[in-house]
Structure 1
Amino acid sequence: MKLSSRKVRNVVILDIEGKILLGEGDAEIKQAMDELLSRGEKHVLLNLAKVPYMDSAGLGEIIRSFTAMRKSGGDLKLLAPNQRLIDLLSITKLVNVFDWYGDEASALASFSS
């Protein structure tokens, strides 16, 4: 898994590429999110456009990150999850917990509303 970040206005976008699995991606996301929280970032967008698959450990890390961001007064949203990830969110009853968007412009605009 590859992880890179960029900032657009007041939103940090984490671009993720590859599978998010136990021992392969979940720890990297945790480290990146912990760093963002320690810097006081409040708006994070996880770009999942290049994530073909996520297991329960990956989903668990995204839930942990979402909860930590909310507790700090911030928000974490999802960008471009594929149908498999949407199905995973639906099966786990999390599809309505996360705000998710199909395109970056809409996702970025949602942080200012």
Structure 2
Amino acid sequence: MKAEFESRVQGKTLVVKIKGDLIGDESGPQLVGIVSDGLEEGIRSCIVDLSAVRYISSSGIGVLITILTKVRNADGEVYLTSPSEHVKKLLIITKLNNIFTVYDSLEEALSQSS
């Protein structure tokens, strides 16, 4: 299942909910584009809601790292929220849990990012 995105801005935070599989096909550049547009509009924190993501490939991980790099270069931060058990394990195996701040819920991330 191809990834779909829902994005909204809350205060100075861009919230992007990903649904489906993040495999970095054409959805990768689309996601990076959403974040780049947000940065141009002055957004400095980005929350990526992973609650509806079943699977992330190595390309999908690359997309997340690209987003993190872009946002940090703009003195911002990226937060991941609500990963499934499978995605959580992947974050631990790849040590991305040390690079990203991961929250169990979107509400928790919003309270930290604002």
Query: Same fold per TM (> 0.5)?
Result: yes
Q: 25, 28, 31: which is aligned to 1:29?
A: 31
Q: Gaps (5+ residues) in structure 2?
A: none
Distance 1:83 1:49 in 2: 10
Between the aligned residues of both structures, percent identity stands at 28
Bigger helix fraction: 2
Deviates more, 1:56-65 or 1:35-44: 35-44
TM-score between both structures, scaled by the size of structure 1: 0.91
Deviates more, 1:103-112 or 1:53-62: 103-112
TM-score (norm 2): 0.90
Summarize the Cα distance change of 1:45–1:85 in structure 2 as closer, same or farther, 3 Å threshold.
same
2:10 aligned partner: 8
CA distance in 2, matches of 1:29, 1:41: 15
Q: Measure, in 2, the Cα distance between the counterparts of 1:49 and 1:90.
A: 17
Greater percentage in strand: 2
Instruction: Tell whether the 8 Å contact from 1:25 to 1:58 is kept in structure 2 after alignment.
Output: no
CA shift, 1:111, in A, is 1.2
Contact 1:19 1:25 in 2 (8 A): no
Which ranges in structure 1 are unaligned for 5 or more consecutive residues? none
What is the root-mean-square deviation of aligned Cα atoms in Å? Answer: 1.3
Q: Does 1:60 align with 2:87?
A: no
Single out whichever of 20-29 and 70-79 deviates more from structure 2: 20-29
Instruction: Name 1:106's counterpart in structure 2.
Output: 108
Q: Is the 8 A contact 2:24 2:63 kept in 1?
A: no
Report the equivalent of 1:75: 77
